[in-house]
Structure 1
């Protein structure tokens, strides 16, 4: 089974080429591949390219626990770079179909920066989803393990809970409270969690707990979700630099809440997975 390994600001994805892996990997295989000790090590799996009736290519994205990731900003940017590297696309705009909706992608001429139009964001509780009455989920309160937080919820094809802070977040904060928020009854499909501090109208800082992937250094969809919440609350402008432990991404929102994400992608290696990796330990 051949693979390619890339990262976007330390957010690592493995591309499994459909030409050499004709059927999607099982949950057990995904867990093994993503394991840093017994596998290749990754924050997720990109399985493609797949045929699509609506886009140039289709793509399935998996979390390290084997669950579906409807959409991933960094994963999509990485897969766009992979398609470029394998000669399937050039510098022109192309489209990808995901479980979380269709997106547009383009690769910059230096081959290292990739732009993705991730689609329209929504704060509607039924779309995220968030339990309770139909509403826009903005600046609500929750108490987790004795600590109170203000949060907002947003979707761009996958669910996000953005926690607003009055001081810069720490990795420890995300690792302590992130898993409890991810599995809160408020979120029937679980949720990605961003702990956000607004530095000024053009810069925000986040720490990330990803649904099915745990603590991560960077996340494209998390960057868009946090920017959308900050913008909706009137705390930032339409174009923002998002600061994460892995680096920065540029996010832009138009007047209809359509989002664009721009940032670097780095190739790590190509390789081939030996069948014995999947044998019982």
Structure 2
């Protein structure tokens, strides 16, 4: 049995296991079973800690609940950073992902702020299926049209809506995630700009569906809203699970700050689902 920690950032929840002492026999099929909310522990993403190298204090591997690997997760980064800072007694650490290094720090108010790096704005970097301006995509489905796209280590498309409460975003989120324009699928954000410094956001996450919060989606939303002239470089972003504070600095980096929490701890069987994977 392997110890695990169930953590969340604004209700965006994670199973976190530590594979730094030794690799764990976790396949995508086993991860999918452990992430299942009816047959496993249940989570929006499954997080594996691996040894850090060089400037990195830890390597964070991210899997979606369908077992696919993700490149970034802002809420999980804050959770992992808080664990490593507690271990080391330091207020600043670097979390490495397959998409790059994410410097993180404790703030005086008890929240954790992560430097999510610079957004990738080219169509190949998102990626999109063909060359186009990522500020306004020629994409329409149902009541939603002309989103903006960027990558925050994973692909995001943001649709801007007049009223998030009445927008049927869950009805169309799954279809948009799998739209042919997104060869690697995409996280789909639905944003209502209240003021230039205040945005409401709901996200259909790639491989996870609707979640209470999406940190990288909030970053992408601020970037895309600013590019469209709808917001400034700083904004409060309200998600179903709570609020994140965002800043897109002039040097291009996006900073995201918010709370973290541990729900419970326990032990899991890393061989769970082995029979299903073999069969």
The normalised TM-score by structure 1 is 0.91
Superposed CA RMSD in Å reads: 2.0
2:93 — aligned with what?
Answer: 94
C-alpha separation in 2, matches of 1:101 and 1:83: 17
C-alpha separation in 2, matches of 1:130 and 1:156: 14
Gaps of 5+ in 1: none
1:8 — aligned with what?
Answer: 9
Q: Is the 8 A contact 2:25 2:271 kept in 1?
A: no
The 1:26–1:89 alpha-carbon spacing in structure 2 relative to 1, beyond 3 Å, is: farther
C-alpha separation in 1, matches of 2:53 and 2:270: 30
The 1:232–1:36 alpha-carbon spacing in structure 2 relative to 1, beyond 3 Å, is: same
Q: Residues 106-126 of structure 1: CA distance to partner in whole angstroms, max 9, x if unpaired?
A: 12356x411100000122111
Report the alpha carbon displacement of residue 95 of structure 1 after superposing the two structures with TM.
1.1
1:45 partner SS: strand
1:136 partner SS: coil
1:270 — aligned with what?
Answer: 265
1:38 — aligned with what?
Answer: 39
2:139 partner SS: strand
1:181 paired to 2:180: no
Report the alpha carbon displacement of residue 279 of structure 1 after superposing the two structures with TM.
6.3
Q: Is the 8 A contact 1:141 1:148 kept in 2?
A: no
The normalised TM-score by structure 2 is 0.92
Report the alpha carbon displacement of residue 174 of structure 1 after superposing the two structures with TM.
2.5
Q: Is the 8 A contact 2:113 2:257 kept in 1?
A: yes
Gaps of 5+ in 2: none
The 1:204–1:53 alpha-carbon spacing in structure 2 relative to 1, beyond 3 Å, is: same
Aligned pair count reads 275
C-alpha separation in 2, matches of 1:106 and 1:58: 16
Report the alpha carbon displacement of residue 256 of structure 1 after superposing the two structures with TM.
3.1
1:108 — aligned with what?
Answer: 107
The 1:56–1:177 alpha-carbon spacing in structure 2 relative to 1, beyond 3 Å, is: same
Q: Is the 8 A contact 2:28 2:68 kept in 1?
A: yes
Alignment of 1:35-184 (within 5 A): 35-85=36-86, 87-91=87-91, 93-108=92-107, 112-133=110-131, 135-144=132-141, 146-169=142-165, 173-184=168-179
Q: Is the 8 A contact 2:84 2:93 kept in 1?
A: no
1:120 partner SS: coil
Q: Is the 8 A contact 2:30 2:272 kept in 1?
A: no
